[in-house]
Amino acid sequence: MGEVVMGRQRPGTPTLEEVAARAGVGRGTVSRVINNAAGVKDSTRRAVQRAIAELGYVPNLAARSLAGRRADAVALAMTEQDWRLFGEPFFAETVRAVSDALTDTGMQLLLTLVRTAAERQRFVEYARGGRVDGALLMSVRADDPLPDMLAEAGLPTVLLGRRSGDECVTYVDADNVGGARAAVAHLLDGGRSRIATITGPLDMYVAQCRLRGYREALDRAGIRSRSSWEAESDFTEESGRRAMAELLERHPDIDGVFAASDTTAAGALAALRAAGRRVPGDVAVIGFDDFPLAQRTDPRLTTVRQPLEEIGRALVRLLLEEMEQPAVAWRHVILRTELVLRDSAP
């Protein structure tokens, strides 16, 4: 279902093997030194410590498992600054998917909010203290340094989504560009030609990708995209309602809408209803996510399905692998999406 892309070697990240080679010892000896285990000669210990200092090696906290001192806990850190957004379906569905994926591992899932610089530093220190074996991060924005701080601390870390196209931390993501492109192509195939979009917050890469898919679909159809047909939201229902009202003021002849989330699509449906527009008769609407909300809207929402269960399994699998054997290259997993047809754009 997905594509795994091996990235470049993490810059400036020496490996346990490189430390062992520099010290002239085996990998197991380096692990014993890191974990302060007995049975290592003082001269050998000093050689390993010297190699660690010379290379700038940061011991990965997963190495504690070699000495049986793992915390058996994984942190799911949510970095969204606006606490109100935690009531949106995306967060609840993601927590459920990750929790289900951890069920048979024996690992405890710890939820934490990391919204400010102080909370960010506090979480890094908490992780450095060995209280968690790895971290999953969600809703990370473009300028958030938390993934890099955790990587520097040696904590295995996997992102849900990514900060940019040049992400250098392991991540799992959906094919946001392809999903958006398929949604808009469906509207075009249905005879819609005046298609607007309600984006997510454009300081998030996921929103940029869905906007790119919208523009690419129009471009392939020979329709030049214009910014006046695009309105930004923050992925909430209320912002979707406002964005749809703005778009109707600019372009009363809209006949199709691609919304970058199901919640914004639900807001768009409310605004269209208030404006006396029939869906899908006057305006066809497509969302993105396929949360349970999509089947409760009136009319039921055509949407792009993210495989959240598969995303949850991939996040946990990659994190456990990094905890057991830190990778020298970051890994990128992109999972396919699926267009689900319902009443709002049959």
**At 61, is the pLDDT very low, low, confident or very high (cuts 50, 70, 90)?**
very low
Residue 67's pLDDT is 46
The CA-atom distances, in angstroms, between 45 and each of 33, 63, 66, 99, 324 are 6, 17, 17, 40, 23
CB atoms < 10 A from the CB of 176, how many?
26
- What local confidence, expressed as pLDDT, does residue 85 receive? 56
- Ramachandran region, residue 22 (left: φ > 0; alpha: ψ -120 to 50; beta: rest): alpha
The structure's pTM equals 0.78
Asked if residue 10 has pLDDT above 70, the reply is no
Determine which of 140-144, 245-249, 295-299 has the lowest per-residue pLDDT on average. 140-144
Count of CB atoms within 10 A of residue 335's CB?
17
Q: Residue 151: pLDDT band by 50, 70, 90 thresholds? A: confident
**In which band, very low, low, confident or very high, does the pLDDT at 8 lie, cut at 50, 70 and 90?**
very low
Counting beta carbons within 10 angstroms of the beta carbon of residue 343, is it exposed (0 to 12), middle (13 to 18) or buried (19 or more)?
Answer: middle
Query: In this predicted model, what pLDDT tens digit does every residue of 264-273 receive, in sequence order?
Result: 999 999 999 9
Residue 4 pLDDT > 80:
no
Q: What is the distance of C-alpha 72 from the center of its chain?
A: 23
Whether residue 323 contacts residue 65, with contact meaning beta carbons closer than 8 Å, is answered with: yes
- Which amino acid belongs to residue 328? V
Q: Which residue has the higher pLDDT, 328 or 313?
A: 313
Residue 316 pLDDT more than 50? yes
- Given CA atoms 63, 69, 74, 75 in this order, what sign does their dihedral have? negative
How far is residue 201 from each of residues 20, 50, 215, 260, measured CA to CA in Å?
46, 47, 16, 10
Instruction: Map out the domains of the chain with their CATH numbers.
Output: 2-59 (1.10.260.40), 73-174+308-336 (3.40.50.2300), 176-305 (3.40.50.2300)
The token pair at 289 is 């996510």
Q: Please count the other Cβ atoms lying within 10 Å of the Cβ belonging to residue 189.
A: 9
Which among 144, 65, 89, 78 is positioned nearest to 326, based on CA atoms? 65
**What's the distance, Cα to Cα, between the start and end of the chain in Å?**
25
* Of 202 and 103, more confident: 202
Backbone dihedral angles phi then psi of residue 38, each to the nearest 5 degrees: -75, 170
Q: Please check whether residue 98 is in contact with residue 108, taking contact to mean a CB–CB distance below 8 angstroms.
A: no
Query: Which among 191, 203, 185 is positioned nearest to 304, based on CA atoms?
Result: 185
40-57 per-position pLDDT tens digit: 788 888 898 888 877 777
Q: Could you report the per-residue pLDDT of 203-237, keeping only the tens digit for each?
A: 899 999 999 999 999 999 999 989 999 999 999 99
